């Protein structure tokens, strides 16, 4: 596996964890991009949207586009299970025990 693959897996887990802790279990792509970057993972807004699309395809989040330039993600029950380490999905880093 390449560095890029590991990075992508960590970004996706971080997004799920952020959504799991967000009010209403939702956040827009701008806020998620800033929060992912604050966690030390470099991610552009375009990359964040790509990751959100992938998470949506895996049924880990649902997406709403209130405007053409804004995407709002909401974590699903399945996504919450992955964020908490109760389920494993290839392509999302598994959380460390106790984290």
Structural domain boundaries of the chain? Answer: 3-83
Cα 48 to Cα 71, 87, 97, 98: the distances in Å are 10, 22, 26, 26
Region 8-25: what's the mean pLDDT?
Answer: 97
Region 78-90: what's the mean pLDDT?
Answer: 97
Name residues whose C-beta falls within 8 Å of residue 1's C-beta, 6 or more positions apart in sequence.
Answer: none
Please give the structure tokens belonging to residue 20. Answer: 């799991």
pTM exceeds 0.85, yes or no: yes
Domain 3-83 in this protein, CATH class: mainly alpha
Strands 26-28 and 61-67: unpaired
pLDDT tier, 48 (very low <50, low <70, confident <90, very high otherwise): very high
| Residue 95 scores a pLDDT above 80 | yes
């Amino acid at each position: 596996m390449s560095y890029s693959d590991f990075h992508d897996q960590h970004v996706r887990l971080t997004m799920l964890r952020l959504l799991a802790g967000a009010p209403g279990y939702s956040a827009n792509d701008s806020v998620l991009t800033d929060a992912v970057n604050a966690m030390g993972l470099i991610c552009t807004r375009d990359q964040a949207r790509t990751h959100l699309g992938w998470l949506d395809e895996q049924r880990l989040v649902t997406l709403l586009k209130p405007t053409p330039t804004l995407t709002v993600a909401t974590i699903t029950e399945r996504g919450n299970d992955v964020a908490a380490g109760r389920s494993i999905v290839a392509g999302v880093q598994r959380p460390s025990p106790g984290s």
